[in-house]
Structure 1
Amino acid sequence: MKTRVCIIGGGPSGLLLAQLLHLQGIDSVVLERQSREHVLGRIRAGVLEHGFAALMRLARCGTRMDQEGQIHHGFLIAHEGRLDRIDLHKYSAGSSVLVYGQTELTRDLYAARERMNGSVIHDVQAVQPQGLTSASPAVTYRIGQELARVDCDFVIGADGFHGVSRQAIPPGVLKEYEKLYPFGWLGLLSRTPPVSPELVYAKHPRGFALCSLRSPQLSRYYIQVPSSERVEDWSDEAFWAELERRLPRSVADKLVTGAAIEKSIAPLRSFVAEPMRYGRLFLVGDAAHIVPPTGARGLNSAASDVHYLYHALLAHYQNGDDTGLDGYSAKALARVWKAQRFSWWMTNMLHSFPDALAYDQRLQDTELAYLFSSEAALRSLAENYVGLPF
């Protein structure tokens, strides 16, 4: 098989890039290790910055997002038994975020690839990028008992943290930065009305909590748990009771509980791989960087990678200009590290750390007090939360 761009990974990043390229006449093949049903079964974040929403519209995939997504002009931080609101619209020059579940977003991208007869191959095994420093790279894979090969101009690694793409970069070239947190987020999805029309981030001595939503009838809640915890250790009743303890009374009294549709624990990790380019291989999204979900930067950071790479490939094929490809890694990483800083700051300000000193706890309290006493601090938070410019 011959194509211009071979994309390893059929999540939202890979599908979005394939869709954008297709609309410009640049053909691609997407290889995905899992089945389509498995990909659509993943429950992930749902806070989209305006730049990501604009990319979806550019890809002609934004109709349902604009109809069903909820525009949020702010969010709430609960601390010391009270609620303070972050006015995103006021402190970010009129910007906002769009709440729309990643599962639905991925569903829209799959539908678009089907309408355009885009090539997405599922259930591939033994994927192996080859010849990445040559002018003619390739990707081999196995599907069932059959061996196959894709010859291409470029290979895009959008296959996540555990994928093969990053591993194809030699150890002497690749440098990795990582921070593991001693806790995770236990998340519960329920068919219940959200406790608040805006997200509620809660700082509590027992641990962090987040009240989020997917729609007016679908809620997503999280509580901080030790990294050693297992989902099996938590009944629905135990989850709801612990969540209620961590919320201010004014919020907890509105909480509607129900059976879990899905329940899982996500470990918290900060990770960056440099460079994001090796020869004809370009890394995108979780293959190159991961952030704690506290600041809603994960999927949005992947979107900026797609933005830079799409325009770079467009310039290459339409104008013979490789400036964007040559500068992709440096440009993408500059924004990635800003997202890392913001996510690290939000995580440290709102979570309980098991080894924290009394001094550390006082600094946390002071950080929040300063935030709500300074318009400059509020502008900084809002600017990062709605998304820095691409």
Structure 2
Amino acid sequence: MRTQVGIVGAGPAGLFLAHMLQREGIESVVLEAQPQAAIEGRVRAGVLEHAIARLLVEAGLGDRMEREGLVHHGIGLLFGGAVHRINFAELLDGRGVVVWSQHEVVKDLIAARRAAGGDIRFEVSDVTLTDIESKRPSIHFRHAGHRHVLSCDVIAGCDGFHGVARPSIPPGALQVYERILPLAWLGILAAAPPPADELIYAHHPSGFALASMRSQHVARLFFQVNPDENLGHWSDARIWDELDQRLAGDDSGIVLTEGAVLQKSLTTLRAFVAEPMRYGRLFLAGDAAHVVPPTGAKGMNLAIAGARVLARGLTEFFKSGDASLLERYSDICLNRAWAAQRFSWWMTQVLHRNPRDNAFDLRRQLADLEHLVSSRAAAAALAEVYVGPPLERL
């Protein structure tokens, strides 16, 4: 088998890269270890920056999002028993974010790939990358009971934090920066109306909580737990009691409507960056190169923005032989990744109760939050990063 770009991983980064390349007439093959149904049903990130949502529309992927996605022009910060709204539209000339889940983005990307006749293969196994430092790297894999070798000009490693792409790079070639936080989120997807019209980030003495949504009838709710928490110890009733305490207690005005719990998950908070994001003809994208704490809602946005940069670089390379943008790919994406790490880390430390914190830290957090909601400049700084940079700067 032969293609121009071999793409390992059918998440947002890999699929968006394939889509953008196909629009430019550049061949690619997408290989994914999971079944199609699994990645289309995997509920993860749900907030798109303003420019990323525009990018999906311009790429012909925005029809369902524009019909069904939820445009939000602010978020609520709940602390001291009251909700304080950060008004994005007022602070940023009308800009906001779109609540549109990652699995919905993936569905649209797969449908577009199929409609265009692009090669995408699910349930591949035994994937190995060879000759990545050469001009003819290869991907070896098993699919439908047969072994295959895919010869490429370039390989894009978009297979996530636990994938095979990054470990294929020789030891010592990457500088890895990592911090595993002593924090985790217990999350549920519930057949219930969201408790608020916009996302609510809650600071509570018992720990952080987040009220989000996937639609007007499906709530996505999280609260902070220990990383070693056993999901089996959390009955549906206990989960609702905890959410009610952290979100609807005191005089917050939030009404939590219980519904059937459709999914439960436990996510340990991690910060990770690998530099550089390439080795030879292997380019890393998305979670294969960087993972941010979910508090800042940046993971999917980083993946799509990075795939856009890589697609533009590869287009120039294949059409004119100009590799200058490809040479800058890592630097461009790492600048954005570290900005996202800074914001996500700040949001996490302001809102969560770290087990090492004492009474001083609690008062410091509350002072931070009070400053945020009483200073227009502080609120604007949060809004600017949360909503994201203009499309022209991606």
What TM-score, normalized by structure 2, do the two folds share? 0.96
> Are 2:301 and 1:300 aligned?
yes
Q: 2:189 maps to which residue?
A: 189
- Kindly state the Cα deviation for residue 145 of structure 1 after the two structures are TM-superposed: 3.8
Q: 1:378 maps to which residue?
A: 379
> Retained in 1: the 8 A contact 2:78–2:252?
no
Corresponding residue SS for 2:214:
strand
What TM-score, normalized by structure 1, do the two folds share? 0.97
Corresponding residue SS for 1:324:
helix
Task: Give the distance between the partners of 2:61 and 2:322, measured in 1 at CA.
Answer: 28
Task: Structure 1: state its 5+ residue gaps.
Answer: none
Which letter does structure 2 place at the counterpart of 1:61? L
> Are 2:292 and 1:258 aligned?
no
Task: Give the distance between the partners of 1:195 and 1:374, measured in 2 at CA.
Answer: 27
Which letter does structure 2 place at the counterpart of 1:304? A
| RMSD across aligned positions (CA) | 1.2
Task: Structure 2: state its 5+ residue gaps.
Answer: none
What is the 5 A alignment of 1:1-390?
1-247=1-247, 248-251=249-252, 254-388=255-389, 389-390=393-394
- Kindly state the Cα deviation for residue 101 of structure 1 after the two structures are TM-superposed: 1.4
Task: Give the distance between the partners of 2:321 and 2:69, measured in 1 at CA.
Answer: 38
Residue by residue over 1:295-336, the C-alpha shift from the partner in whole angstroms, topping out at 9 and shown as x without a partner, is 101111111211211111111122321111000001100110
> Retained in 2: the 8 A contact 1:190–1:260?
yes
> Retained in 1: the 8 A contact 2:137–2:152?
yes
Task: Give the distance between the partners of 2:58 and 2:168, measured in 1 at CA.
Answer: 31
Corresponding residue SS for 1:372:
helix
Task: Give the distance between the partners of 2:360 and 2:256, measured in 1 at CA.
Answer: 34
Identity of aligned residues (%): 46
Q: Structure 1 stretch 311-320 or stretch 159-168: which is displaced more?
A: 311-320
Tell me the matched-pair count.
Answer: 390
Task: Give the distance between the partners of 1:55 and 1:230, measured in 2 at CA.
Answer: 40
Residue by residue over 1:180-224, the C-alpha shift from the partner in whole angstroms, topping out at 9 and shown as x without a partner, is 111211111111111111011000000100000111111111011
> Retained in 2: the 8 A contact 1:47–1:296?
yes
Q: Structure 2 vs 1, CA of residues 255 and 372 (structure 1 numbering), >3 Å: closer, same or farther?
A: same
Which letter does structure 2 place at the counterpart of 1:315? E
Which letter does structure 1 place at the counterpart of 2:96? S
Q: Structure 2 vs 1, CA of residues 212 and 251 (structure 1 numbering), >3 Å: closer, same or farther?
A: farther
Task: Give the distance between the partners of 1:239 and 1:116, measured in 2 at CA.
Answer: 44
> Retained in 2: the 8 A contact 1:55–1:307?
no
Q: Structure 1 stretch 185-194 or stretch 142-151: which is displaced more?
A: 142-151
Residue by residue over 1:135-161, the C-alpha shift from the partner in whole angstroms, topping out at 9 and shown as x without a partner, is 111111112542101111100000000
Residue by residue over 1:100-129, the C-alpha shift from the partner in whole angstroms, topping out at 9 and shown as x without a partner, is 111111111111111111111111111111
- Kindly state the Cα deviation for residue 384 of structure 1 after the two structures are TM-superposed: 0.5
Task: Give the distance between the partners of 1:171 and 1:386, measured in 2 at CA.
Answer: 37
Which letter does structure 1 place at the counterpart of 2:316? A
Task: Give the distance between the partners of 2:137 and 2:146, measured in 1 at CA.
Answer: 20
